[in-house]
Amino acid sequence: MRPIKFYRLESGASPVEDFIDKLSDKAAQKVLAVFKIIENQDLVSSKFFKKLSGTDIWECRIMWESNIFRFLAFFEKNNVVILTHGFQKKTQKTPSSEIDRAVKYMNDYKRRNENE
In tens, the pLDDT along 23-82 reads: 999 999 999 999 999 999 888 888 889 999 999 999 999 999 989 999 999 999 878 999
Q: For the residues 74-94, what does the mean pLDDT come to?
A: 88
Concatenating the DSSP letter of every residue in 4-24 gives EEE---TTS--HHHHHHHTS-
Number of domains the chain contains: 1
Checking if the pLDDT of 89 tops 80, the result is no
Among 8-12, 67-71, 101-105, 111-115, name the one with the lowest average pLDDT.
111-115
On the CB side of 35, CA atoms within 13 Å amount to: 23
Checking if the pLDDT of 116 tops 70, the result is no
What CATH number is attached to the domain comprising 87? 3.30.2310.20
Structural domain containing residue 39: 4-112
